[in-house]
Amino acid sequence: LEAITLFVGKAKITSDTGPQIRFAAHRTLAKAFLHDHKVLFAHQFDEVDWPHVHSTLTNNIPRLFQLWAAKHVMRIAATNVYVNKQTPTQCKKCPSCTVCDETTHHITLCEESGRVDVFHDTVGALEDWLEETDTDPDLMEVIVDYVRSWDTELLENFCRQLTPRFHRLGRSQDTIGWHNFMAGMISTEISLIQQAHMTVRGSRMSIKKWTSGLIIKLLEITHG
């Protein structure tokens, strides 16, 4: 019997307590901060696979890419709408389509032909990567169809003919939202589905590496 057992949230701590306690504390602060700033509300925040998102952003991407991702999520990236707040003479219109105001959300939805081509090229790269990493076939189809929907369809609509675990994924990811998904905020249900597939297939790739790769690919699409 253990004389003392330490839990952080629902996780039992069996090794160095420092990283887990810091992560839990920062998670609590981030949840309140993002909710208060209307970036990600509390019920959305709870659906995100934060352990994998945090690990990816901290360890697997360059510093400048980290800064861009943070600014994009907080909607303070140097879009024309944001620059206009600092310099009122700056035109708000998108320099590509010249029709819509250039916001962080508009970047992935711009209908200018060049941007559309880049979007489809990077989604194609995502699809190739999903296939190369032996992604669950249904999961691969759902992810690609959802990305290509351009925020016009709920992910749950692509899961109607699939098993209940995909229905849970649909509800969870739709709570988080398409734009947040494209910023790497994936549902915890995704790694659960892929982990089950990898176990059956006897994959040698870790779920941590696979999930990190997915998050990076989504960020690359948004970055363009």
What is the Cα–Cα distance from 185 to 214, expressed in whole angstroms? 10
What is the Cα–Cα distance from 13 to 110, expressed in whole angstroms? 46
- pLDDT of 9 reads 62
Burial of 84 (0-12, 13-18, 19+ CB in 10 A): middle
What is the Cα–Cα distance from 60 to 105, expressed in whole angstroms? 24
pTM of the model: 0.90
Per-residue pLDDT of the chain (224 residues; tens, 9 = 90+): 445 555 556 666 566 666 788 888 899 999 999 999 999 999 999 999 999 999 999 999 999 999 999 999 999 999 999 999 999 999 999 999 999 999 999 999 999 999 999 999 999 999 999 999 999 999 999 999 999 999 999 999 999 999 999 999 999 999 999 999 999 999 999 999 999 999 999 999 999 999 999 999 999 999 98
The encoded tokens of residue 83 equal 């620059």
Q: How many CA atoms lie within 13 A of 156 on its CB side?
A: 11
> Angle CA(84)–CA(89)–CA(94) in degrees, nearest 5?
55
The encoded tokens of residue 151 equal 């925020």
Contact 203, 134 (CB under 8 A): yes
Question: Which of 205, 191, 182 minimizes the C-alpha distance to 139?
Answer: 191
What is the Cα–Cα distance from 214 to 116, expressed in whole angstroms? 21
> Angle CA(177)–CA(183)–CA(184) in degrees, nearest 5?
90
- Give the Cβ contact number of residue 197 at 10 Å: 19
Q: How far is CA 70 from CA 10, 45, 79, in A?
A: 28, 15, 14
- pLDDT of 5 reads 52
Q: In 3-state terms, what secondary structure has residue 6?
A: strand
What is the Cα–Cα distance from 180 to 175, expressed in whole angstroms? 10
